[in-house]
Each structure stands twice: as structure tokens, then as C-alpha cells.
Structure 1
Amino acid sequence: MIDEWVYLVNRYTIAGARSKFEDICTTLFKHKFKGECVKSVRVDIGDGGVDVFIGDIENQPIKIIQCKFFVNGIEESQKAQIRKSFKTAISSADFQLSNWILCVPGKLSIQEHKWWAGWKDKQMKTFGLPN
């Protein structure tokens, strides 16, 4: 775990650190997509698997940002969470999805990169999303 993320966990507990990570992701995407509508979503049942979205949710397909505070790597449990979040977002009746972006803190191992690349490629092809 990278020291900065350890600091968040020590300071705010794991739940608080997760929330701070989502705030950091929101700020990052507001800077990356200046001039576009970038909104964070309050955690709630029925939030459609959305942490942050970019675009006009009512009138156009939106980019979905899924923030996962996985500080100790991506094992089977985390993979299942990723798959579930994507499935929830892609099948939502509340919005159209144009792109789905996963944000995790730190770097992936070579095995995690291989899993992610294969899984992501399959989803993009299956649902016609840009890479």
C-alpha cells in the first residue's frame, strides 16, 4: 500500500478513506474534463453503480467513473465487485453509458494488468464501448 493511502486509512478509517478517495477521483476528473459536467453521486441504494459521472445524465450517454479503494491488490473478491459494478451500470435504466472508467489507488501487478486487460476488452466488445 502506498504511504499516502495508508495515511488516509490511519486518519479516517477504511470507510472514511474510501470516501476521501472518491473525493480525490472527483477532483481529478473535474480537472481532466474542464468545461464538462462532472458530478459525484451520494452512496445510496439505487445509485446505479455510479460514483462519479461526466456529461448530461438526462440528455446524453455519460461516462461513468467507478472508484474502488482496493489498496491491497485485486483478488477474486475485488474482481467480483468490479464485475458487479460494471453490470449494474451497463444495465441501468436511469441513464445511457458511453464509457466506464475504473479508478483504483496505486499500481496493478502484472497478473492484475493481464486480468484487467482481458476482462475490459471482453466487456468493451460485448457492449460496444470505446476502449
Structure 2
Amino acid sequence: MTATAAATSLASGEPPINFAAHQLRAGNLAGARDDFEQMLAMLLAAIYPGARAITANPGDWGIDILLGELSGLVVVWQSKYFWPAVTRSSQGQIRESFDSAVNAAARHGYRLGQWILCVPASMDAQTAQWWDNWRARRQRETGITIELWHENVLRNLLVKPDCAHVRRHFYDPYSPVPPQRAPVREPAPQDETDLDGALFVRQLRAAGHIEVGAAKREFFNAELLAREIRDKRVPGEVAALSEADGVVHGIWEARFNAMAFVEDPRLPGLHADVMREIRESGAFPAQLRAGPVHRCGLMHRVVEDRRAGWVRHWRDVA
């Protein structure tokens, strides 16, 4: 992504559009091609409501996205995920795609009025010169209008109000490409035994809990996550851990205060209510990579730190 494009996007109040996001979403280059084509289909449907994708079965007639009727005049968009630049090595694929679209129209009895190549990058100078010459020659020979939608053309379309949903779905850094959750690990038998005397376990016992194996697993995984974050010292992750600590503590405090006048000092239901809200809360920062097990474990860490408990007299237990 160019510095100019990034500055324009930031100035408009939108997150920068980086077409490498397709590789992050899909996990590989082959998947990125399909993801980029899906984005184009959504983008074109937003601009031209009649535009539709054509599935290859077994061939796609040289059509990725179509506007018009296959009984008359059509416009065809060809998606090519060339990355990070369109270079000499791409020229053969471009020629083949155009020829395929021209031949399919002749075979199946419709007219190809316009052919548009869509790429998420820019051409280098040599390829740009080749494109200009090839385009002019093939337009004269076929009478078909040929266009290029490169990265800047696509960005200008994606920032239009009618296309905001496409931009958010594919390029919002907080939505289409969420950080991968931290793995959940099983504690060794010795680790579970070592946790028998932990304060968070004693607090659960004081509240009448008989089974605490799941709580130990949650605490164990939250400790691993917190230790990894402390060791790596990535500022964003450190801040996310601190924020998540505040979230779980705040949830507990609100629930505890709401039950402060319950007659039973063991406050039945407090633990279940707090953990349910923690699992379902959308307030946790995505950069933490914490799933439900880690989130609940963060609550046990707060208890272990003597800042919360599951009975009215939790401070005495601590």
C-alpha cells in the first residue's frame, strides 16, 4: 500500500485499505485469490445492482463477474490477484484471460462489449508500457473496450458510501481478520495438584463448590497467556491484558454488589452469573486473543490476587 493511499484513507476517517488482508484472511495465496474475487463481486453488486458472479463449472467462460444478459451485450470483470505488483510474469495470464472471454462470447452467442481487468496492485513501468500497447492493439482488433482497475481505482470505489459494507467486511482491521485465539492447553496432573492450595480454589470451596477442575484449567491457561504477554512485552498486548483485568473485575464487582444483601453468606449463583457474563461479554480487547477459557481464568487471577472472592466474607478467606 502506498503512503499516499494510506494518508488519503486516514484523512477520510476510514482505516487504510491494504489488499494483503486477503492473504491474512485466507491463510495462503490460493485462498487470497478467491477472497479477492468475492470482494469484487460484493463491490460490483453495490455499484451495479445487476452484476453477478459466475461459477466455474467446469469452466467460467472467461467470466468472473458479469453485467448484462448472456443472450445479448455484456460487461465482464476479470479478477487477478497479482501481488505485490503486476510484472512481466503476469502478461501471459492477462492475454489468456482476455482471449478466453472473447472466444467464449463467440462460441455461446453473446456480445462482449467491455472487458475489465481487476488487480490489487500497480504495474511496474515495463508492464505498464506493455499493457498500453497490448490494450490499444486488442481494442482495434476486437472492438471491445478494455479497462484496468488497479489498486487505486479499487480504493476509490471502496471508500464510496454505497460500498462501506464491503470495505468493513474485508478491510476493517478489527473485523474481517481477527487475531487468532491463544490455544487452550491441558494442565499436567502435577500442575492441578499444585493448585489445590491456591486461593482461588479455596474461595470456590468456601462458596460450596465441589468440582473445581474446570476452574483450575481456566486459571492455568490464563496464567500461560499472561506470562507470554509479560515476556514478549508488546505494548498493545500488555495494555490489552490490563484492560481485560479491569473488565472481569468490574463484572465481578457489579454482580457482588447486587447480591450483597442475600441472606446466604455463600452468595449462591454469584460465580455462575459472573462467569456467564464474562463468557458472553463483547468488551474484551481483540488483541488479547483470549477465548472463554482464558477470560474466565483472568477472573480467577483476580481472586488469586486477593481482589475478589465468591462469598460475602471473601476478605477473611483471603
- Shorter-normalised TM range: 0.7 to 0.9
Query: Are the structure 2 counterparts of residues 7 and 33 from structure 1 closer, same or farther at C-alpha, using a change threshold of 3 Å?
Result: closer
Q: Does 1:64 align with 2:83?
A: no
The structure with the larger Rg is 2
Amino acid at match of 1:129: I
- For normalisation by structure 1, the TM-score amounts to 0.85
- Asked whether the 8 Å contact 2:91–2:127 carries over to 1, the reply is no
Query: Secondary structure in 2 aligned to 1:5?
Result: coil
Determine which of 85, 110, 114 is the counterpart of 2:125: 110
Identity in percent:
28
State the number of aligned residues: 128
Query: Are the structure 2 counterparts of residues 4 and 55 from structure 1 closer, same or farther at C-alpha, using a change threshold of 3 Å?
Result: same
Instruction: Please give the alpha-carbon distance, in whole angstroms, between the structure 1 residues aligned to 2:64 and 2:88.
Output: 22
Q: Does 1:21 align with 2:30?
A: no
Counterpart for residue 96 of structure 2? 84
Structure 1 residue 79 displacement after superposition: 0.7
Greater helix share, structure number: 2
Counterpart for residue 9 of structure 1? 23
Instruction: Please give the alpha-carbon distance, in whole angstroms, between the structure 2 residues aligned to 1:68 and 1:44.
Output: 19
- Asked whether the 8 Å contact 2:83–2:120 carries over to 1, the reply is yes
- Asked whether the 8 Å contact 2:88–2:127 carries over to 1, the reply is no
Q: Does 1:122 align with 2:137?
A: yes
Structure 1 residue 28 displacement after superposition: 2.0
Instruction: Please give the alpha-carbon distance, in whole angstroms, between the structure 2 residues aligned to 1:98 and 1:125.
Output: 13
Counterpart for residue 175 of structure 2? none
Amino acid at match of 2:67: I
Instruction: Please give the alpha-carbon distance, in whole angstroms, between the structure 2 residues aligned to 1:15 and 1:88.
Output: 21
Query: Secondary structure in 1 aligned to 2:130?
Result: helix
Structure 1 residue 67 displacement after superposition: 0.4
Instruction: Please give the alpha-carbon distance, in whole angstroms, between the structure 2 residues aligned to 1:43 and 1:5.
Output: 24
Structure 1 residue 63 displacement after superposition: 0.5
Counterpart for residue 54 of structure 1? 67
Query: Secondary structure in 2 aligned to 1:100?
Result: strand
- For normalisation by structure 2, the TM-score amounts to 0.37
Greater strand share, structure number: 1
Query: Secondary structure in 2 aligned to 1:106?
Result: coil
Query: Are the structure 2 counterparts of residues 101 and 112 from structure 1 closer, same or farther at C-alpha, using a change threshold of 3 Å?
Result: same
